[in-house]
C-alpha cells in the first residue's frame, strides 16, 4: 500500500493545503463548465425538467467509488486510512433536510454557490451571506442544540459494515442503482419535455 499519499507521509500539512487548493480550483472550474453555476439549472432537478446535476454527481460518486475499490484490490490504496465522517443519524437527517430545502429555495448548495459567486452572480453572493448568517445563528444556539447535535452516534460506519456484506457487493449494487437512475432520469426528462411541448402548442 502506498496511498492515501498524505497518510503515508509523502507530503506534509503545507503541501496538502496547496494540493487541496489546486483540486478545489479545478473542481470549481469543471462545475462551472458543466453549468452548475446557474441556480436555475440546479433547481431544475427538483422539478425533473433537467436531471444533469443528478447524472453528473452520481457519475462522480460511482467513478470515485470504483477507483477506490479497484485500487484497494490492487493493493495501492489502504481503505482503512480513507477518512470517513462519524454518523449521527438524527441530526444528519435533519441537516440534510434543511440543506435540501435551502437548495430548492435558493437554487444552490454551498459549493455551487461559491462557484456561482466567483463568476459574479449576485443571487449566489446573497446565498453565501445566508450561509454565513446560518453558521452564526447555529454557533450562538449551539448550547441549546448540543445534546441533539451529538445524538444517534453510530461511529464511523460504512454500508458493508452496517449490512454485513462485502465491499464488492455494495459497489455492484450502487453501480446497478446508478444505471437505473440514469435510465429513469432520461425517461423523466423526455416525458416532461414532451408534456411541456404539448402545453406550449
User: Is residue 112 within 8 Å of residue 36, measured between CB atoms?
Assistant: yes
User: What residue has cell string 449566489?
Assistant: 124
pLDDT, tens digit (0-9, with 9 covering 90-100), for 41-81: 888 888 888 888 888 888 988 999 999 999 888 888 888 88
- Cα–Cα distance measured from residue 133 to residue 110, given in angstroms and rounded to the nearest whole number: 13
- The pTM score is 0.76
Instruction: Look at the alpha carbons of 178, 183, 186, 191 in this order and tell me if their dihedral is positive or negative.
Output: negative
pLDDT of residue 5: 76
pLDDT, tens digit (0-9, with 9 covering 90-100), for 103-139: 888 889 888 999 999 989 999 999 999 999 999 999 9
pLDDT of residue 196: 59
Instruction: Look at the alpha carbons of 126, 130, 131, 135 in this order and tell me if their dihedral is positive or negative.
Output: positive
- Bond into 135 cis (ω within 30): no
Amino acid at each position: 500500500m502506498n496511498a492515501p499519499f498524505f497518510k503515508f507521509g509523502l507530503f506534509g500539512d503545507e503541501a496538502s493545503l496547496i494540493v487541496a487548493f489546486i483540486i478545489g480550483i479545478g473542481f470549481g472550474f469543471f462545475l462551472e463548465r458543466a453549468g452548475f453555476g446557474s441556480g436555475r439549472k440546479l433547481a431544475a432537478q427538483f422539478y425533473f425538467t433537467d436531471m444533469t446535476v443528478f447524472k453528473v454527481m452520481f457519475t462522480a460518486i460511482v467513478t470515485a467509488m470504483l477507483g477506490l475499490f479497484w485500487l484497494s484490490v490492487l493493493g495501492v490504496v489502504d481503505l482503512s486510512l480513507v477518512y470517513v465522517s462519524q454518523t449521527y443519524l438524527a441530526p444528519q437527517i435533519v441537516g440534510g433536510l434543511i440543506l435540501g430545502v435551502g437548495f430548492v429555495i435558493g437554487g444552490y448548495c454551498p459549493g455551487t454557490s461559491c462557484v456561482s459567486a466567483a463568476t459574479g452572480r449576485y443571487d449566489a453572493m446573497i446565498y453565501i451571506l445566508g450561509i454565513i448568517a446560518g453558521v452564526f445563528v447555529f454557533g450562538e444556539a449551539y448550547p441549546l442544540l448540543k445534546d441533539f447535535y451529538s445524538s444517534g452516534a453510530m461511529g464511523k460506519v460504512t454500508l458493508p459494515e452496517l449490512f454485513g456484506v462485502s465491499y464488492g457487493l455494495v459497489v455492484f449494487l450502487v453501480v446497478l442503482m446508478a444505471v437505473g437512475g440514469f435510465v429513469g432520469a432520461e425517461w423523466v426528462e423526455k416525458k416532461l419535455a414532451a408534456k411541456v411541448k404539448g402545453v406550449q402548442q
